[in-house]
């Protein structure tokens, strides 16, 4: 006799089969389109990778399995001064060439004391991957003050992204 849980699993595709988090390992100043280097998959503090569908090369994230992926982006910036426009985005392509902004967050930094000021912002996008050869993701940062730095660290996640495969396409 089937339980309610086993019957639900049959109908909704068995649950989440992939969840991965990537982060920047070092800081960089000014903007970047895309953020092309210093990425790693998280490997500290009991990180629980589920599957390995997502990979990164030169700032381009690829998928080895089709499906609907939730992409959650978090950006942290720092500056000893003011920057009225700090923005970052999730960019997608369907042709492995032309990227467009799928989601964007805009922030600002206003220094209110003698030490550096930080800002953080995040955005998300649900990406329907039907073509693993051509559908890819990258991330960009733009600033007005070229001294604004995006924060990275290899010990814990500051600027990073999480990919969760929600189910079949």
Say whether pLDDT at 5 is over 90. Answer: no
The yes-or-no verdict on residue 142 having pLDDT over 90 is yes
What distances in angstroms separate CA 104 from CA 2, 65, 91, 125, one per listed residue?
A: 45, 25, 9, 9
pLDDT tens for 103-140 read 999 999 998 877 889 999 999 999 999 999 999 999 99
Q: What's the confidence (pLDDT) of residue 115?
A: 83
Per-residue pLDDT at 113:
79
Give dist(CA 2, CA 16) in Å, integer: 21
**Strand-strand pairing, 28-29 and 149-150:** antiparallel
- Indicate the range of 6-20, 59-73, 114-128, 148-162 predicted with least confidence: 6-20
Q: Give yes or no for residue 2 having a pLDDT over 70.
A: no
Q: What is the pLDDT of residue 9?
A: 53
Compute the average pLDDT of residues 88-95: 98
Tokens of 23: 């982060």
């Amino acid at each position: 006799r089937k339980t309610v849980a086993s019957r639900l699993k049959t109908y909704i595709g068995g649950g989440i089969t992939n969840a991965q988090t990537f982060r920047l390992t070092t800081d960089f100043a000014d903007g970047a389109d895309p953020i092309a280097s210093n990425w790693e998959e998280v490997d500290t503090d009991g990180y629980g990778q589920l599957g390995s569908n997502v990979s990164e090369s030169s700032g381009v994230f690829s998928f080895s399995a089709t499906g609907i992926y939730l992409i959650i982006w978090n950006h942290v910036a720092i500056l000893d001064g003011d920057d009225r426009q700090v923005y970052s985005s999730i960019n997608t392509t369907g042709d492995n060439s032309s990227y467009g902004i799928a989601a964007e967050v805009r922030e600002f930094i206003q220094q209110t004391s003698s030490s550096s000021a930080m800002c953080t912002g995040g955005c998300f996008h649900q990406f329907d991957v039907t073509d693993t050869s051509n559908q890819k993701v990258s991330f960009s940062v733009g600033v007005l003050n070229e001294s604004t730095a995006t924060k990275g660290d290899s010990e814990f996640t500051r600027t990073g992204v999480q990919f969760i495969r929600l189910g079949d396409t």
